Structure formats: structure tokens, C-alpha cells
Structure 1
């Protein structure tokens, strides 16, 4: 992305890693959100809602997050795409209204996250991505305080999210390869 990116552009970042395990095993790891929290620098723990016990289309969970600047908070994750061994996508909502009105409507999502799995060379290419916005978030709160630094704030957050993805992908890779 160029230096002139705005929040309204829905900035994004992505990472990928090769995992020496079949897609079914990698899928089992990425669908285990409790295990994913162990590899994430921001997601500390999760709680499934509405009787859900695992990832499925429409399933929702509360994420308990911690960030050195934003502090502790909760989000609502809503699984919006679920194609076994191929694609897992979820929208993240501001369930407690930390950055505006509490949101349960998907159009007010703070971000959208995805894992995409592709069979490759006896293993799996695992791709993780996120798109920021369009709803209010901690990022929009910072931008509102420093609108002249919007581009720098977004660039910093995208780097931070990318580093978190690197840590998550490393944890998924280790877990999936260890199981084989």
C-alpha cells in the first residue's frame, strides 16, 4: 500500500507460510480458536456463544484481547465463510461499544480476517489476511485524535498486524507439523 492510504480505503495486509502437513490437519488447527489464541499476541482467550463448540458457518465467539496501547477488551467474532479445508473467514465486531455503539451488525465490523488453505508440494500453503474496517475501532479512535497522521497510524497498525500474523502462522505450522 502507498503512503496515502486512508481508513475508508479498507487497508489490508496478508502473510503466508508453507506447512508440511496435509490440509485436513492444518484445517483442524486453524478451526481450533482456543489453540489460535495461544499463538496470537493480542487474542488471549475465547468463549463460544449460542451453544457453539467449534468453528462453523454462522458460529460466534467472544474474543478477550489485550494490546499494549488499547488495553484489554472484548470483541465478537462471527464466522462468515466456512469451506472445510479451504477457507475460514470471520468478522470482528465491537461487542462492548468501546469505540462507538456496540455492534452486532456485520456492516459495522472492525475488521475481517481469513485463513485460506491451498494444497501444495505435499503440504499446505496457509494464507492469512485481514481487511480493516469499515466500522469504528481503536484505530479510528487514534486517527480521530491525530487526523494529520492517519497514513502513519495505519501503516504502523498494518505492520503490527503483520507481525501478529507471523506469530500466529508460526504457531499453526508448529502445531500442524507436530501432529503428523
Structure 2
């Protein structure tokens, strides 16, 4: 089975956040936290005893679009604190990655920038099944919109001023 490797990103977005790269990385590298900001993902859990981001660590994600629900398995490929977090997504019944998600963090004078990028790697023959499963006709466009939403929510979370304690 030949898997296309789309060399260009399917979608990407960048946001500037008033937070340190370490603060951004702490949230971005925790899939169980990131689901709070996602448009499709609503739950995640580490697998095989993993408790934090490390190359090779695996996690499962659960996604939704309206009434549709599906699960994915992910493997961390990059876990460079304050710099990059990335993972590959595998969908059942495929045993090969169908996409890659990457978060690059760069320091700025006032905090950091976070760039979220997605590459599609799904076999062409699987696209009709993916449309049936997810209800998404144009995955690249949807992922672009989802990246924008995720980054806006991440920014709001990291820039929120903690409530004063009584």
C-alpha cells in the first residue's frame, strides 16, 4: 500500500502569546489539557503507562463532529521542551500514520509565538471512508479553521489573569 506523503502542510497558523515558551509548552505537550481548546478533540489519555510528553509516548484521542464520534491513536515524535511538540495520528483500521500535528514555539520580547501545523498523510483510498466517519468533506479547510480556533483558545487561556485569592 502506497501512502502519499504530502510534502506541504495542509494547514498552519501562528499566534503570539504573552506567556513564556515553557508555559506554552507545558500546555501544548499535554494532550489531556489541549482538548479543552480543540474544535474536534474532546478527550485524550496517555497509553502504556505514559504520563507526559516524550518521544515514543502514545496517547489516544477521541474526536467528534456533531453526532459523529471517532478515536485515534497518536505517537509523540518530537518533545523538545519550550521548542516543539509533534505527534503522528493513526486511525483504525490503518496501522500507518494518516496525519502529523506539530507545534513550534519561539520566544519573543513579550512572550512567544506558537505555530501549529498539520500534514495530511492519509492514503487516497481511505479519504471516502474518512468523510463518512467524520462528516468532513474538506479536511484541509476544516483543519485550517480548527487551528485558528485552537490557537485563539490557547492564547486566551495562557493570557488569562488568575483570579485573586480571598
TM range, smaller chain: 0.7 to 0.9
Q: Distance in 1 between matches of 2:130 and 2:97?
A: 17
Q: Distance in 2 between matches of 1:123 and 1:76?
A: 32
Q: Using the TM superposition, give the Cα deviation of residue 157 of structure 1 relative to its aligned residue in structure 2, in angstroms.
A: 1.9
2:162 paired with 1:173: no
| Partner of residue 84 from structure 1, selected from 73, 81, 86 | 81
Q: Using the TM superposition, give the Cα deviation of residue 59 of structure 1 relative to its aligned residue in structure 2, in angstroms.
A: 0.8
Q: Which has the higher strand share?
A: 2
- Tell me the alpha carbon deviations over residues 15-63 of structure 1, each in whole angstroms, 9 at most, x when there is no partner: 0000011111111111121221111111110111010112111110010
Unaligned runs of 5+ in 1: 1-6, 144-152
Q: How many pairs align? A: 154
RMSD of equivalent CA atoms: 2.5
Q: Distance in 1 between matches of 2:12 and 2:65?
A: 20
Unaligned runs of 5+ in 2: 132-136
2:118 paired with 1:113: no
Q: Distance in 2 between matches of 1:65 and 1:51?
A: 22
Q: Using the TM superposition, give the Cα deviation of residue 67 of structure 1 relative to its aligned residue in structure 2, in angstroms.
A: 2.2
| Partner of residue 38 from structure 1, selected from 36, 39, 45 | 36
**Deviating runs (4+, > 2 A) in structure 1?**
134-143
Q: Which has the higher helix share?
A: 1
Residue correspondence of structure 1 range 8-157 to structure 2 within 5 A:
8=4, 10=6, 12-68=10-66, 71-94=68-91, 96-97=92-93, 102-103=94-95, 108-135=96-123, 139-141=127-129, 156-157=138-139
Q: Secondary structure at the match of 1:163?
A: helix
Could you say which residue in structure 2 is the equivalent of 1:163?
Answer: 145
